[in-house]
Structure 1
């Protein structure tokens, strides 16, 4: 059914290093919102949740010497979506994700923000739209969403609950398709 669970990703050392650095509470909240928006828009919630969870895996540490997030430096020099798409793709493939799914997730991560793009509008795929909307829904002014804290037990419990919701959704939709 699913080659790679969110829990498998959560427990991976690469995720613990880079997603924790950019804000685990934000990553989990975006994954949960991506699931909800995906279900509403008939987009694969598994891919949406994974892309939402990994969307900031490419963040560089734009921090001042006092430990505060340097939002202006970030906005001026950011390419985290480019770096994150490549990092997430490599991680997903290594974890055993379907190659086409890994590519779709990486592209959604690449296009979840326009902070590094020249002015203009992109036509996003439904999955890319879901991830961008989920990220926007959890953002706080000045990048403060990256500061929210979550303890490891709570984070893992929320990841496991989201995995269960995805499995339930996929199973119930599979049953509906075989009945119709």
Structure 2
């Protein structure tokens, strides 16, 4: 059962403020990647697409002398930590099931290891899907954050993805019931 749709998330003013700041086109592209990866990794497509859509909601803008400073960002950014907290609060306010909100937030927290000390971290399949979805859409020097998308195209793409997620979840449920 889906408690909150991607369109519900998209229309919220917090999403508009922070996901637009970090790149709505990138976020939507990652959500599509996560959808396709969810089957391969046997992950709930609803959770995967939501986490991928929100994975950069914690970004801060790192500027020096009025110019974006990628090195300052790489050295000091902890957007995944802020993003996990911000996404959790947003999802709970929208009515997401608390366990789902927690799982999505943890996937956001661990979608990048850029701020973590070096070592081995064992990711859950959901966390791995969000990490891979982000990597699949990355461009050098963070350029993926600057691609643009019109609001009408964003809505159309997310509405289509919502339908794809619902259809896949219904198929999975039917397959489960028939076995």
- TM-score under structure 1 length normalisation: 0.97
What is the CA–CA distance in structure 2 between the aligned matches of 1:70 and 1:53, rounded to whole Å? 24
Whether the aligned pair in 2 keeps the contact of 1:69 and 1:143 (CA below 8 Å) is: no
Any idea what SS the aligned residue of 2:63 has? coil
Counterpart position of 2:9: 9
Counterpart position of 1:85: 84
Q: Cα–Cα, structure 1 residues 65 and 24, in superposed 2: closer, same or farther, change >3 Å?
A: farther
What is the CA–CA distance in structure 2 between the aligned matches of 1:150 and 1:89, rounded to whole Å? 25
- TM-score under structure 2 length normalisation: 0.97
Deviation at 1:70, TM superposition (A): 1.7
Deviation at 1:93, TM superposition (A): 0.5
Counterpart position of 2:28: 28
Deviation at 1:75, TM superposition (A): 0.4
Counterpart position of 1:125: 124
1:82-161 → structure 2 map (5 Å cutoff): 82-161=81-160
Q: Deviations over 1:84-108 (max 9, x none)?
A: 0000000001100010000000000
Any idea what SS the aligned residue of 2:23 has? helix
Off by >4 Å, runs of 4+ in structure 1: none
- 1:63 matched to 2:63? The reply is yes
Deviation at 1:73, TM superposition (A): 0.7
Counterpart position of 1:170: 169
Gaps of 5+ in 1: none
